[in-house]
Amino acid sequence: MHIAIFRVIVAAALILAASDAAADGKETYTKACALCHASLPPKLGDRAAWEPRMKQGLDAMVAAVIKGKGAMPPRGGNPNLSDDDIRRAVEYMVDQLR
């Protein structure tokens, strides 16, 4: 009985982990980036603030988030974000300018 309950708990944890890992860019932005980028520059949707960054290219922008830049700590302050999570969040933020 205890083993069956343990297996259910483990399965549920794995499902939750998998769904969290597959988070889309908007979800990652909302959970990890919005606290700052909703009120601090470059703000989401502020084309003038994002243009110089966009000229550097997506790879450079993703690298800046991974390494940290200015007041932004590495990985936006969330060490659990994968490189793919970061890329999707940056893509989401850039897409808001189109």
Output DSSP code: residue 46.
-
Going along the chain from its start, the domains and CATH numbers come out as: 24-95 (1.10.760.10)
Q: Provide, rounded to the nearest whole percent, the portion of the chain with pLDDT above 70.
A: 77
Structure tokens at 20: 């969290």
Alpha helices in 1-98 (DSSP H): 2-21, 25-28, 34-37, 47-56, 58-67, 83-95
Structure tokens at 93: 């933020």
pLDDT, the chain, mean: 84
Model pLDDT for residues 4-48, shown as the tens digit of each residue: 453 445 444 444 444 444 469 999 999 999 999 999 999 999 999
Question: Which residues 6+ apart lie within 8 Å of 36 measured at CB?
Answer: 72, 76
